Amino acid sequence: MSKGVGKQTICEFWGATNLDSVEVTERALRDAVRAGGATLVDVFVHRFAPQGISGIAVIAESHLAVHTWPELGYCAADFFTCGEHVDNDAIVEVLREAYQAQHVDVRHFARGVAPAVQPA
């Protein structure tokens, strides 16, 4: 348990393109799940008016989510994965390429690290 039950990765993609395409986002999510070695449960992509996409892949290992701001060239991605087998860096790379991001900021966090004092 000291390693936690999962890891969360938060990415900021700047200088990005393809940010208003449902097709690009759905394909990117499916490709990222495959590249990361995760198991897809379902994918949902929603396009907002006048622009912007939210895409979520539910995976057996938790989720991938992307939210785009075409007017800023910005895409926020985050994914939460449990299990040692999932390659979060591979997921980042697929998304970076799909959106052709020129600047990427990535942060990783351990999730589900039990508190020192267990609840009664």
Residues at the interface with a second copy (CB under 8 A): 5-6, 8, 10, 12, 14-15, 41-42, 44, 46, 48, 54, 56, 58, 60, 62-63, 65, 67, 69, 72-74, 76, 78, 80, 82, 102-103, 105, 107, 109, 111-115, 117-120
In degrees and rounded to multiples of 5, residue 100 shows phi and psi of 50, 45
Residue 39 in tokens? 């198991």
Nearer to a second copy, 5 or 35 (CB): 5
46 has catalytic annotation = no
11 has catalytic annotation = no
Q: Are 43 and 12 in contact (CB under 8 A)?
A: no
Query: What does the angle CA 100 – CA 80 – CA 17 come to, to the nearest 5 degrees?
Result: 15
